[in-house]
Structure 1
Amino acid sequence: MDLTITLSSRQDEDLMEVSGALDHATVRHLREVLFGLLDAGRCRITVEMSGLRILDAASIRVLLWLRDRAGQAGGDLRLWGATGTVLTALEITGVAKQFHAYDQVSWPQSQRDRQVVDLGSMRVGHDQWPAQVDDLLDRLHTMRAGGPGRDRVRDTIIELCLPAAHRLARRYAGRGEIKEELTQVASLALVKAVDGFDVTRGVEFGAYATPTILGELRRYFRDQSAGIRMPRRLQELRLAAGHAHELLTQRLGRSPTTADVAGHLDVGEDEIVEMLSASSAHRPLSLNAPGPGSDHDNATLMDVVGGDDPAFGLVEYRRSIEVIMAGVSERAQRIISLRFYGNLTQAEIAREVGLSQMHVARLLQQTLSLLRRRLTE
């Protein structure tokens, strides 16, 4: 193999010295070594390229991808010492400045411990998943459920693949969710992928596990970001209805009806209607959103939202007073009406009804006491 890699470390930085040729055949080994550093939390990495003779476009794409992964972990991937055709390749692809290829790095020879990486014995896959997993999955497939050693093989597969699952989780870092939560979702999805993988289909495990884990991560974000969380049954029905709508549109040559979709999915029309209603309420409107007919003013939904009418609490008392007042004399009713609805003084009421002011005061006192007593009973 025309590639040599040595590693040196100091504090939280790592130096990777690469010499030989970095192309489509050898970049997998570089990727595997960098994966190991990133998985160990070593995300500030400098790749020294003074001894590199060949750097192709495929390797540059891999380096860019790894640089993004290092950035998501809070670090950076730098290229240093590139000259000749290697530097030209970085410049032609427009990534030289992104990798800080023109910057000088202070890493004296005396501080480099240069641990040689044994690339010859390294097993690498075609993607980020460990190559030895395929052999273990074949072995797991031949073992009887509950048989001796099966759980141990299964646990080994999961342990080997956990770093790859965590790398997929880091793609969604920085989106407002706790990193540990994303890691847990990816880990559980990995277990689901291991248990659901069928080796007889002839596909690589990574081709099955990657979409499985990414799908669970997307579903987690969809569930967590919803303002109003739909039941899982309706969420799954909405996805199935979306696929059915596209299929039936092509098959029927028109937009399918609710009955068409329900018949295709073998569910009741009321379930489709319930799903559509829940979907329309998936996200609540902001009360600061423009209100209806607010094209020419600054009215918001808050301005048209009703509130509690203070008079609601008086309805019961008013109805009770009507019943109680029907049982008092007409003269007392007139005095109460003139006092509280006509806003007359006791002297004015006395002249109006032909009584003395003292008599009016006594009738008011008696009637009001009766009302208080009856209302509190």
Structure 2
Amino acid sequence: MSMHRPSATLLRETAGTSDGDARTGGLPWIEDAEKIAPKDARDLSKLFFDRLRELEEGTHAHQYARNTLIEMNLSLVAFAARRFRNRADQMEDIIQVGTIGLIKAIDRFELSREVEFTTFAVPYIVGEIKRFFRDTTWAVHVPRRLQELRVELAKAKDHLAVVLDRDPTVGEIAKHLELTEEEVIEGLIASNGYNSDSLDLPADSGADNRGSTKTTSLADFVGAVDPAMELIEDFHSLAPLLATLDDRERLILELRFGQELTQAEIGERLGISQMHVSRLLSRTLTRLRAGLLVEE
């Protein structure tokens, strides 16, 4: 039986001669990231995220770091998919859309958030899976033409969301599908003809460790506390600190967290490099975090 290897050992074993190679951006070379144990994946992910924000987007090193992060954390998709095990016939689709959620989480995660990536990523993954169910369950009769259009719209939205790192506009979807904006809007309106089964509908049954019959409902799989509720007090404390920032610092925060632009897109908007945006963002978040700690 193979023993679990500590992260430090894994780093030494994977570093090899490629540690300083520009193709990896100074990161250790990992041959098969999917085989890394979850604990090692958590430790390595911190290293890769820290370096990813310093690498220029579009370079081979940036692509390597991003792809390795995806592969190392695919176990999160499998973990999130378990709660939908009652839909075994759709598991392949569930894994695919869950992976899209993982990619979105990786592209939007910042180490400065001071939360574990697993905590940050799972809501993205589960949300993408739930969206998939909303988009594939009809509640009322809809003409076949609109049903087929809805499928095309869903695929186009997911594809463009990954490419643009944000939700696409009606115009962008129309251009991608070579349709008019009116046709896209008609398809989006028709999508409102979906609905899921009753949350009280039994979804699964089995026996617990004591042999007692156990029944679950859909509510057990989709219910969750909104984590944003816990942020209200932080938002109130943050407001006066934001007022101390200059116009450019506030604009960068708005573009990154309000409009969810990438650092490269912000750099193009402001006429500065992605690295400069990264440094400004890091400095601003450090000031805000220090201010919040003083308030506490």
Q: Do they superpose with TM above 0.5?
A: no
Q: Higher relative CO (CA 8 A, sep ≥ 6), structure 1 or 2?
A: 2
TM-score by length of 1: 0.29
Q: Greater helix share, 1 or 2?
A: 2
Q: Which has the greater radius of gyration?
A: 1
Q: Greater strand share, 1 or 2?
A: 1
